[in-house]
Amino acid sequence: MFAYRPAVKRLHPLDLLAAGLLACGLLFLATGLLPTDAAGSAVQRIAPLLAFLGSVIVLAELTSAAEVFDVVATWVARAGRGSYPALFLLCVGFAALTTTVLNLDTTAVLLTPVMLALAGRVGIAPLPLAMTTVWLANTASLLLPVSNLTNLLAADRVALSPAGLARAMWAPQLAALLATMACLWAFYWRRGRRGADGYRPPAAHRPGDRVLFRICALACAGFLVASLAAVVPLWVASGAAAAVVVAAFALRRPDALRASLIPWRLLVMVPGMFLVVQTVDAHGLHRLLADAIGTDGGTLGLFRASAVGAGLSNLLNNLPVYLAGEAAVPAGNHTQLLALLIGTNVGPLVAPWASLATLLWYERCRSAGLRVPLRGVAGASAVLAVGGVALATAALALTGGT
């Protein structure tokens, strides 16, 4: 007798959360709790974000399937020549670059398994590499609009081009990176914590399909150039790069093209978050945040905005907190809005749900069999969240966002 096996896969808790958020948002709209005008404004803002998010994740997934990340990760390990300090600097640079140019969720989804596999190949402890990934997925996401969904919203609000946002945030980003490097070395990479004194560099990695490898690498490079030059909207640049890569796979590896490449969970969760936050904002959250953030555009106001953003992000989630906080910051206080951005980008490290990237990172670590010590990680992350947000905000105050 054959045992019954359900045909439908069991939904992941994050799938249920995403569906629940969207259902709540639609229910609020249907019952009138969410005004139609506010919902229409939210949909208008998120449409380009969803197009960008969907296409950039497909681009990154297929780039990973073409072994671009594996080649780069192996190159990083070989370039370190068995030296932990050199490997540390190279891994930090790799994770920071991936976050900056492809966005933090891509780093969490794709770089985490690459780093864990790299740890196995060179015979070192996996936790330092994993923590490098998740911390830099958040703290390296200040520089460009593509780095974080919150950046896209902030750049739109303060009318900054990619180059303009980079000019405004280079000093806070540098401060956040230095704080991250200091905490990574102190908590995970220093001698006695990393599990070995050296490592054996792996053999060079050769991609199975060199044509696909080159096409994907060039598509990513083209997307980066187009996004920095701001010649077209970000969602157009990412969509064009993804279309090139999809076409290449359709010709050479059509079996790799599947519906699961599309980040359905994110595409459901993000509009759900927007609608729920718009509803809560219309019923008191705006006033609460306005009182907490204040209207001071000076140094004290910057620190208040970043502290509120970081604190509430760890209680709720950084995306809805930024959305609500943005509406509470006075329209002319552009530097204060950038301080809020620092809090919601660099600060959401402590709670597993504080940012979507952190949630995705925990999921990837669990699927790879890595046990993450929650209490220890939360304590170390709290130190970085406080120090990184404070240093980045101080850098913003010193440079004035210029």
DSSP for 15-54 reads HHHHHHHHHHHHHHHHHTSS-HHHHHHHHHHHHHHHHHHH
Look at residue 36 in the predicted model and tell me its pLDDT: 86
Contact yes or no for 75/121 (Cβ under 8 A): no
Contact yes or no for 272/22 (Cβ under 8 A): yes
How far apart are alpha carbons 80 and 192 in whole angstroms? Answer: 19
What are 242's two structure tokens? 């993804």
Amino acid code (one letter) for 329: V
Look at residue 54 in the predicted model and tell me its pLDDT: 85
Contact yes or no for 127/223 (Cβ under 8 A): no
Contact yes or no for 41/292 (Cβ under 8 A): no
Q: How far is CA 116 from its chain centroid?
A: 18
353-375 as b/e: b if 16+ CB within 10 A: bbbbbbbbbbbbbeebebebeee
What are 287's two structure tokens? 């006033």
Amino acid code (one letter) for 72: V
Look at residue 2 in the predicted model and tell me its pLDDT: 35
Of the candidates 184, 181, 207, the one whose C-alpha atom is nearest the C-alpha of residue 72 is 207
Give the containing element (helix H, strand E) for 379.
Answer: helix 374-399
Q: Give the Å distances, CA to CA, from 259 to 110, 153, 172, 330.
A: 17, 28, 39, 42
- Ranges under pLDDT 70 in the chain: 1-12, 194-196, 228-230, 286, 367, 401-402
Of the candidates 252, 257, 315, 261, the one whose C-alpha atom is nearest the C-alpha of residue 288 is 315
Q: Classify residue 262 by its DSSP letter.
A: S
How far apart are alpha carbons 165 and 241 in whole angstroms? Answer: 23
